[in-house]
């Protein structure tokens, strides 16, 4: 079964790789003959088609690809991403490869940044020295003040009174303006 999967994967890669460099690329140009070549192989630095590619390298159709590099629509790039083509996330690396090859590339990428060493958080110290007589202070949070399991009915009533007082104060403020 794995031999069949490898065969399918190889066929898949050949079908969507650039016909010249045999690499997956995000920016591909389709010719009039429907063959695809990446912009890196098809055009020079001036965005002019390389003279050796006046004919499609596969079917030999003349003028199959545009002379001037076209703008690659974002949806074409997104289709390549959906197929599994990924660009290296490291700054300065231009490598593009299949998603299943990316992990291996990331291990050996020359542009990877060494990860900073993990720092353990330092324990905060109190400004006041703690003695045996000093009671231990606990941090009060919203969740600790509104814990349903340990609350008393009086706490709910006090909370309702505060809320009603806030509402009436806000309403008076709105009425005055």
State the Cα–Cα distance between residues 155 and 100, nearest whole angstrom.
58
* DSSP element (H, E) containing 98: strand 96-98
Both tokens of 87, joined, read: 């660009």
Q: How far is CA 147 from the centre of its chain?
A: 38
Statement: the pTM of the whole predicted model exceeds 0.85:
no
Give yes or no for residue 58 having a pLDDT over 60. yes
**Averaged pLDDT for residues 18-40:** 92
pLDDT of 46 over the 70 cut: yes
Q: What is the pLDDT of residue 145?
A: 47
What is d(CA 50, CA 62) in angstroms, rounded to the nearest whole number?
13
Between 159 and 16, the more confident residue is 16
Average pLDDT value for residue range 55-70: 94
Choose between 77 and 158: higher pLDDT: 77
What DSSP designation does 30 have? E
Number of other residues whose CB lies within 10 A of the CB of residue 39: 16
pLDDT at 141 (0 to 100):
53
In this prediction, residue 6 carries a pLDDT of: 79
- Which residues pair with residue 96 across a beta bridge? 87
Q: Comparing 135 with 61, which gets the higher pLDDT? A: 61
Over pLDDT 70: what percentage of the chain?
A: 63
Burial class (CB in 10 A: 0-12, 13-18, 19+), 107: exposed
pLDDT(101) > 70? yes
Measured between alpha carbons, how far is 16 from 37 in angstroms, rounded to an integer?
Answer: 9
The mean predicted confidence, pLDDT, of the chain is: 79
Instruction: Write out pLDDT tens, residues 122-159.
Output: 666 656 555 665 555 555 555 444 444 555 555 556 66
pLDDT of 30 over the 50 cut: yes
> How far is Cα 70 from Cα 48, in angstroms, rounded to an integer?
10
Cβ(70)–Cβ(87) under 8 Å?
Answer: no
Write down the pLDDT at residue 2: 81
Dihedral angle, C-alpha 41, 44, 48, 54, nearest 10 °:
-50
Inter-residue contact 50 to 42 (CB < 8 Å): yes
The whole-angstrom separation of Cα 103 and Cα 27 is 21
- 97 or 164, which is more confident: 97
β pairing state of 85-87 and 36-38: unpaired
């Amino acid at each position: 079964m794995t031999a069949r999967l490898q065969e399918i994967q190889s066929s898949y890669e050949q079908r969507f790789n650039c016909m010249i460099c045999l690499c997956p690329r995000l920016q591909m140009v389709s010719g009039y003959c429907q063959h695809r070549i990446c912009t890196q192989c098809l055009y020079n630095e001036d965005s002019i088609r390389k003279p050796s590619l006046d004919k499609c390298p596969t079917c030999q159709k003349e003028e199959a690809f545009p002379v001037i590099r076209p703008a690659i629509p974002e949806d074409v790039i997104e289709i390549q991403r959906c197929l599994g083509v990924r660009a290296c996330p490291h700054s300065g690396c231009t490598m593009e490869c299949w998603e299943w090859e990316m992990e291996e590339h990331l291990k050996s990428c020359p542009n990877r940044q060494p990860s900073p060493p993990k720092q353990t958080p330092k324990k905060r110290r109190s400004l006041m020295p703690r003695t045996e007589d000093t009671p231990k202070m606990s941090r009060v949070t919203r969740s600790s003040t509104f814990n349903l399991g340990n609350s008393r009915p009086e706490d709910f009533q006090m909370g309702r009174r505060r809320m009603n007082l806030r509402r009436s104060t806000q309403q008076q403020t709105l009425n005055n303006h």
